[in-house]
Amino acid sequence: MRVTIRDVATRAGVSVATVSRVFNDSGPVHEETRRRIREAARELRYAPNSAARSLSTRRTSTLGVLLPDLHGEFFSEIIRGIDLTAQRRHHHLIVSSSHNHRSEVAAALRAMRGRVDGLILMSPAVDAETLVAELPVPDTLRVVLLNCAVRDPRFDGLEIDNIGGARAVVEHLTGCGHRRVAMILGPARNHDADERRRGYRAALRAAGLEPRPEWEHSGDFTDAAGYQAAAALLRLVPRPTAIVAANDAMAIGALSAVREAGLRVPEDMAVVGFDDVPIARYVHPPLTTVRVGIGELGARAAETLLEALAEGEAHRPRHVVVPTTLVVRDSCGCRDRSPPASLA
């Protein structure tokens, strides 16, 4: 038999209202009564039932997190960022991952109804626009959109400066003399991937180079895809002198492919990534990449959501673009911005 607030009340010789007041620190309770109640609760090992509490207060103290099919360190870092912030503010996290299609997201969202106070939704598919528009979101549910190609005035939004980051790293390469810069793209119809490509193209044009279709090879953000794509790019004639991967995992796969082809990085081929996952500095050669601050991104998403929740009706959604920074290491071969010997 479960122990309820009523059992505690009986044992302490008070009413349930008083017990509730003690546990929620609401309303005045005599010090001596308070002590008796705490004691009774401890003896009975009482813990309030949160379903009942949620039903009554219409709050769950829980945040929902809906993620696409993320892998590796990006996934763990973002969850950690969110979780740490949520914990600090005494909130729980319901995580649901691997949602790629709109129907899946909609279903997951329905299932979360009543379980969460707010939602962090990361849906980098480019068709997110319609998803968001049709989102079966009761107006009681706060939503923060993460990396969505959408600016819906109903929701807060948080986005990475993908275009700026990609421009920066590509400009770094062209600035060092690279003329044949290839790119391993992210998944088709992915917002981040799309923007990173736009940044890449913009940077090429800014350097007076025309983007060429054969220099852009598809990928899907996995190490394996990076490996495959790089292998294909190496067969081009003339061969590119630099490969920009749309994320670090693919860059690492590319490093592997380049080496297997008997070429050296960065002497024969520069390779750069995007994200700056923790491991990036420990691969060989240490990866030049674009730092995103993934954990911080998650933390900010959680903070935004908690803030919105606290503000209630008064909240005015905002849209924030989080800046990125270029991190130059060795894999581009131009740490000091001087062209590598092979290009001189």
Positions touching DNA (CB under 7 A) are 2, 4-6, 13-18, 20-21, 23-24, 26-34, 46, 48-49, 52-53, 55-58
Residue 294: CB atoms within 10 Å = 22
Q: Which residue's CB is nearer to a second copy, number 84 or number 168?
A: 84
**Which does residue 24 bind out of a second copy, DNA, none, counting CB within 5 to 8 angstroms by kind?**
DNA
Shortest separation between residue 110's beta carbon and DNA, angstroms = 12
**Which does residue 18 bind out of a second copy, DNA, none, counting CB within 5 to 8 angstroms by kind?**
DNA
Do the beta carbons of residue 61 and residue 91 sit within 8 Å?
A: yes
The Cα 215–Cα 245 span in angstroms is: 12
Q: Which residue's CB is nearer to a second copy, number 78 or number 169?
A: 78
Rounded to 5 degrees, φ, ψ at 106 are: -60, -40
The Cα 338–Cα 203 span in angstroms is: 18
Give which of 61, 63, 77, 136 is closest to 305, Cα–Cα: 63
**Which does residue 131 bind out of DNA, a second copy, none, counting CB within 5 to 8 angstroms by kind?**
none
Shortest separation between residue 139's beta carbon and a second copy, angstroms = 10
Q: Which amino acid is at 155?
A: F
Interface ranges with a second copy (CB under 8 A): 2, 45, 47-52, 54-55, 60, 62, 70-73, 75-76, 79-80, 83-84, 87, 90, 92-98, 110-115, 136, 138, 140, 222-223, 226-227, 249, 252-253, 255-256, 259, 278-279, 281-284, 286
**Which does residue 111 bind out of DNA, a second copy, none, counting CB within 5 to 8 angstroms by kind?**
a second copy
Shortest separation between residue 284's beta carbon and a second copy, angstroms = 5
Rounded to 5 degrees, φ, ψ at 293 are: 70, 60
CA distances from 37 to 3, 5, 8, 40, 45 (A): 14, 10, 7, 5, 12
The full length of the chain comes to 344
**Which does residue 23 bind out of DNA, a second copy, none, counting CB within 5 to 8 angstroms by kind?**
DNA
Q: Which amino acid is at 274?
A: F
Q: Which residue's CB is nearer to a second copy, number 15 or number 140?
A: 140
